Amino acid sequence: MNIRAFLLPIGVWQGVAHYKQALERQVKYEAARAYADSIGKPLLVVGGPWGANPFRSLLKIPAHGCGDVCIDIHPEACEGCSNTVEADIRDIPFPDKYFGAALASHILEHLPTVDNCERAISELHRVANAVYVAGPSKQSILAWLIPEHRLWVTQKQDGAIEIEQR
């Protein structure tokens, strides 16, 4: 069997999977931004636009915007954002309903357990009127290979969030 004939479909499949993830981040960021603006409250972004990407200096393309406040346990993920707070998503240091919307982008899958993830989602709902979640797809081979990905977290069209331990 020709190795190219074998690898080409896999490469196309992964390219599509990563494109869909990038699109999801942008669409959810834009929806969260629009919602927060529509009710006159700030937008919280949890999981900075750069993530923990070691190639960010080479890529120079953020995954999404900073929002009005960007929080992450790794402040470098919010590099370039004007209002950065070092914080854990399970204990967000803001009052109830302070934000119009919150976007958790590629963060929840790193939490150790389903209980931790549910606690984080409760915190997001506590501090924001609307919650948007973006995470890696089960279709991504890379997502399966990252050992720090402990959960699969998906948000359905109706806003419901499903959590599954890996």
- Structural domain total, the chain: 1
pLDDT digits (tens, 9 = 90+) for 94-126: 999 999 999 999 899 999 999 999 999 999 999
Pick the more confident residue, 142 or 98: 98
Single pTM value for the model: 0.85
Chain-centre distance of CA 2, in angstroms?
Answer: 38
Which one-letter amino acid corresponds to residue 60? K
Confidence at residue 57, expressed as pLDDT on a 0 to 100 scale: 52
pLDDT digits (tens, 9 = 90+) for 67-81: 999 999 988 888 889
Name the residue range of residue 35's domain. Answer: 3-165
pLDDT at 51 over 80: no
Q: Where are the alpha helices (DSSP H) in the chain?
A: 3-38, 56-59, 114-127, 141-145
CATH of the domain at 117: 3.40.50
